[in-house]
Structures are given as structure tokens and as C-alpha cells.
Amino acid sequence: MTDLPRYWSRAFIDRFVERLNEDPDFQREAATFSDTIVLQCLDAPGGRDVCAAYTIDSGYVTVEVVDEAAPSDEIRAPAFDASSAMARATAPYRIWKELDTGSMNVLGALASPEYRIDGPRLRIMMNLGIMNHMSRVAALVPKSY
């Protein structure tokens, strides 16, 4: 039996936030950024939908997590609210796992009809470095799938 946290579990998300707050490259990239990035995983193991809202304030990250039985109206139904977050990315677990393991790149995800990103496109493009650093750190967190 492994004591590694399962990808997209609360334990994984907490370790991910710890790593972001310790990673010098992420800290440098996010030093002047203050906003929220919402990542949503649909149909995670155990029949769960998970929404993680990562608030970044000058490099320091906190997270609010909603974990519901899938399909969750609380996670799937709301329209994107640009006043509460810069961006929201939503995809099924399979897509997140492929991104995390490197079997799919960001362009592949963006081309997939299963991956949806909401928010002002120009602002998202201007902050891709932060999101790429988040992905890199997430991939380095030991986990089980």
C-alpha cells in the first residue's frame, strides 16, 4: 500500500500548494501576480468532481477546494465569474492525468473538446508562464493515479 496522495485528492492539492510556496522559480514568476486560477477536475477517482481555486498573492498560494459526488451541479453548472477569478480550466480526470504525465501537452489539451478554459483570453495568454509553472510543480509532486 502506498502513502502517496492520489492525484486530485485533497492531500495531493495540499502538497501541491506547499510545493508552489517553496518553489523559487514559481515564486519569481508569480511575484507580481495577485489573482485566482480555478482548476476543475470532472470524474476523478471515486466518482468525484473537484474544484480547486488557487489564490496567488505575490507568489504566496492558498487554495479553496470543493469536492462533490459526480456529477456535481455545484461544480459543473455555474457560469464563469470573471470578478472572482482570472481563469477557470475544466477537464475530465483523464485529460488532467495526461497533462500531468506528459502524454499530452497544453496545445493538445486546448485542442480537445473535453478541455475548457474560461476567462479573458489576453490576460490568460499574458500569464501562461504562471500556469506553466503550476503544471511543472504539480508534475513533480509524488502521487499515485
Angle at 54 between CA 137 and CA 114, to 5 degrees: 80
Give domain limits for the chain.
10-139
Tens digit of pLDDT for each residue in 58-106?
A: 999 999 999 999 999 999 999 999 999 999 999 999 999 999 999 988 7
Please give the CATH topology (third level) of the domain spanning 10-139. Nonspecific Lipid-transfer Protein; Chain A (3.30.1050)
Cα dist from 46 to 24, 78, 84, 145, whole Å: 34, 23, 29, 12
Asked if residues 26 and 35 have their Cβ atoms less than 8 Å apart, the reply is no
- The closest of 120, 140, 139, 136 to 29, measured between CA atoms, is 136
- Give the strands of the sheet with 34-44, arranged side by side: 60-69, 48-57, 34-44, 87-92, 116-118
pLDDT tens readout for residues 38-68: 999 999 999 999 999 999 999 999 999 999 9
Residue 55 CA, chain-centre distance (Å), reads 11
pLDDT at 1: 52
| pTM score | 0.94
